[in-house]
Amino acid sequence: MNNDVAQRLKSIVGPEGFSEDPAEIAPHLAEWRSKYQGHATLLLKPGTTEEVATVLAVCNQTMTALVPQGGNTGLVGGQIPFDNEILLSLSRLNRVRSIDIQDASMIVEAGVVLAAAQRCADQNGLLLAMSLASEGSSTIGGLISTNAGGVNVLRYGMMREQVLGLEVALADGRMLNLLRTLRKDNTGYDLKQMFIGAEGTLGIVTAAALRLFPKPARVTTAFAALPDIASAVVLLARLQEETNGLLNAFELLSRNGMDLVLAHIPETKDPMAPAPWYALCEASGPVGVEAAFESGMAKALADGVATDAVIATSEAQRAALWKLRESMSEAQKLEGPSLKHDISVPVSSAANFIATGIAAVAAALPEARPVPFGHLGDGNLHFNFQAPKGADMASFLAKWDEIARVIHDVVHDYGGSFSAEHGVGVMKRADLKRYKSATEVDVMRTLKRTLDPKNILNPGKLIPD
């Protein structure tokens, strides 16, 4: 990197706004799963929107590439600098600018951690619906840039549905102020949508207006044992019908996954006798939703759709049930290497897909242990395969691309997506070119060339070469 450019950038953000300390930079360079390791020698931490814009103007003028980063919880390498680009952390843009109770909206900066935004909404009697296991570290800007999903998509939708407006710094340093909280604005292109899920390749989100919801009067949670996945799909439909569409979440867990959690995660226990599959179900709404939910579960037990069920009777019990699901990724990491895939298929195809996918992987890698789990309610599954005990990590992980191709071909056959909620990053660029039409890819490239003609924003990510 040109030293004069570095000095200009450091002067923009001031002494508190940069670091060249390798020890401070190091945590920003490692992806959580240890699949990617980056390289950068300058970390910028702008403290205002204006500083972000000025940094971009200089980078654009000097053709200096940069990689934006939120909480560094991404799993496809989209937030990692690989070629000594400037690393731009949004962590200091961490203010809740406003909350409007009557409008049920809040405006927050990109570096606000999701859990902090949730608490702010809750303290004002409202609900920020986005929820996921990394909410204690993931940031609003990162969640928007990857169009994150989480456990409440079934009821409230992806991050895209939570965003009413955006403030975006463009590649040339101009600010695009779209921080409106209108629910209806039919005045041409909805420009904010271009930046949601764009992984920082078209502009850098600096703030967002988010949709809030009334806090539900009641929340009811159950953990059900199931004989097979087809029964899970039936149970999902039953509970949706009984609760009149008030299911927040419907999570699928396998026995293999449960065994890993119980073996590695402290203070977890099996809530019932072992079964092949489980569903963690949650509904919320007005008084009376509990009775409807329990009625649906009782009918499922009566006709064999579920073989056992536990309904939480306290917040502590609810948290214990959710811990079984939310600890799944950590348990897999503690067990050893695993091949992870974030896919989606139509809910009606889930049972056949899982059977076909497991068989296809078994033919290519017989020793792999299947550990599928995830958001069955919206068709998003984390279709993972654990190495056998004692396996060499390097040799097993070397199969990643081969097994991903096997799985993604099956996903494609079922009309699904090779990336449901984690994004494309660097990991899945070849998949995007393989499974998307040439026209779709060309339109994406056209947007990139238009908004970032010098290719300074997160180069090498999302868009295929």
**DSSP structural state of residue 230:** H
For residues 160 and 191, state if they share a domain. Answer: yes
Instruction: Check residue 274 and give left, alpha or beta (phi > 0: left; psi -120 to 50: alpha).
Output: beta
What is the CATH number for 390? 3.30.70.2740
**DSSP structural state of residue 336:** -
For residues 255 and 208, state if they share a domain. Answer: no
**Strand-pair partners of 455:** none
For residues 176 and 271, state if they share a domain. Answer: no
Give the model's pLDDT for residue 53.
Answer: 98
Instruction: Check residue 342 and give left, alpha or beta (phi > 0: left; psi -120 to 50: alpha).
Output: beta
Alpha carbon distance, N-terminus to C-terminus of the chain: 23
Residue 269 Cα to chain centre, angstroms: 27
For residues 21 and 61, state if they share a domain. Answer: yes
243 occurs within a structural domain:
yes
For residues 105 and 200, state if they share a domain. Answer: yes
Structure tokens at 166: 């955006």
Distance CA 37, CA 427 (A): 13
Burial of 398 (0-12, 13-18, 19+ CB in 10 A): exposed
Distance CA 276, CA 256 (A): 8
For residues 202 and 100, state if they share a domain. Answer: yes
360 occurs within a structural domain:
yes
For residues 128 and 170, state if they share a domain. Answer: yes
Residue 134 Cα to chain centre, angstroms: 9
Give phi and psi for 126, each to the nearest 5: -130, 170
Distance CA 175, CA 203 (A): 9
For residues 210 and 223, state if they share a domain. Answer: no
Q: Which domain holds residue 64?
A: 3-89
The amino acid occupying position 463 is: I
What is the CATH number for 271? 3.30.70.2190
What is the CATH number for 191? 3.30.465.10
E strand or H helix at 284, and its extent? Answer: strand 277-285
For residues 351 and 296, state if they share a domain. Answer: no
E strand or H helix at 114, and its extent? Answer: helix 114-123
**DSSP structural state of residue 215:** P
443 occurs within a structural domain:
no
- Nearest residue to 425 via CA among 208, 207, 197, 205: 197
For residues 316 and 344, state if they share a domain. Answer: no
Q: How do 86-89 and 66-69 pair as beta strands?
A: parallel
Structure tokens at 6: 């570095």
Q: What angle do CA 198, 132, 72 make, to 5 degrees?
A: 50
343 occurs within a structural domain:
yes
Distance CA 368, CA 386 (A): 6
Who contacts 315 (Cβ-Cβ below 8 Å, separation ≥6)?
A: none
Domain end, chosen from 89, 104, 119, is at: 89
What is the CATH number for 33? 3.30.43.10
For residues 283 and 317, state if they share a domain. Answer: yes
Give the model's pLDDT for residue 265.
Answer: 98
449 occurs within a structural domain:
no
Give the model's pLDDT for residue 270.
Answer: 96
| Total domains present in the chain | 4
Distance CA 225, CA 228 (A): 9
247 occurs within a structural domain:
yes
297 occurs within a structural domain:
yes
Give the model's pLDDT for residue 390.
Answer: 86
Give phi and psi for 11, each to the nearest 5: -70, -30
Q: Which residue matches tokens 């033919």?
A: 363
459 occurs within a structural domain:
no
Domain end, chosen from 311, 329, 347, is at: 329
E strand or H helix at 294, and its extent? Answer: helix 289-302
Could you list the pLDDT tens digit for every one of the 465 residues in the chain?
788 999 999 999 999 999 999 999 999 999 887 789 999 999 999 999 999 999 999 999 999 999 999 999 998 999 999 999 999 999 999 999 999 999 999 999 999 999 999 999 999 999 999 999 899 999 999 999 999 999 999 999 999 999 999 999 999 999 999 999 999 999 999 999 999 999 999 999 999 999 999 999 999 999 999 999 999 999 999 999 999 999 999 999 999 999 999 999 999 999 999 999 999 999 999 999 999 999 999 999 999 999 999 999 999 999 999 999 999 999 999 999 999 999 999 999 999 999 999 999 999 999 999 999 999 999 999 999 999 988 888 899 999 999 999 999 999 999 999 999 999 999 999 999 999 999 999 999 999 999 999 999 999 999 987
Domain end, chosen from 62, 89, 116, is at: 89
The amino acid occupying position 295 is: S
CA dihedral sign of residues 393, 135, 344, 238: positive
For residues 222 and 318, state if they share a domain. Answer: yes
